[in-house]
C-alpha cells in the first residue's frame, strides 16, 4: 500500500510540474525542453529553424506557475 501511495505522489508531482510549465509558457509556444527537442528534430530532418515570435507571459500567470511549482516541491518533500 505504501508503494502505491508513493507512486501516486510521484505522479502528482509530475502533473503539478507539467501544469506549472504550461502556465509559464507563452500562448502558442512549446515549453522550453520541448522547444529544444523540436529544434533538434527539425535539424535532423534538414528543415530550417523555426522562427517564433517572442511572446510574454503575464506576471499573474508566472506567479501562479511559481505557486504550483512550490506545491509540487511540498508534495515531493512531505
Q: In whole angstroms, give the CA distance from residue 50 to residue 33.
A: 15
Q: What is the mean pLDDT of the chain?
A: 88
What confidence score (pLDDT) does residue 58 get?
92
Q: The pTM is what?
A: 0.76
Chain CA centroid to CA 28, Å: 14
pLDDT of 73 above 90: yes
What confidence score (pLDDT) does residue 40 get?
86
In the predicted model, what is the mean pLDDT of residues 42-51?
A: 76
Q: In whole angstroms, give the CA distance from residue 34 to residue 23.
A: 15
Q: Classify residue 8 by burial, with Cβ atoms within 10 Å: 0-12, 13-18, 19+.
A: exposed
Res. 30 pLDDT band, cuts 50 70 90: confident
Amino acid at each position: 500500500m505504501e508503494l502505491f501511495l508513493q507512486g501516486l505522489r510521484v505522479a502528482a508531482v509530475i502533473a503539478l510540474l507539467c501544469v506549472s510549465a504550461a502556465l509559464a509558457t507563452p500562448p502558442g509556444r512549446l515549453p522550453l525542453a520541448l522547444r529544444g527537442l523540436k529544434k533538434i528534430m527539425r535539424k535532423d530532418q534538414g528543415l530550417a529553424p523555426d522562427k517564433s515570435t517572442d511572446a510574454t507571459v503575464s506576471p499573474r500567470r508566472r506567479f501562479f506557475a511559481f505557486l504550483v511549482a512550490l506545491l509540487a516541491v511540498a508534495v515531493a518533500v512531505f
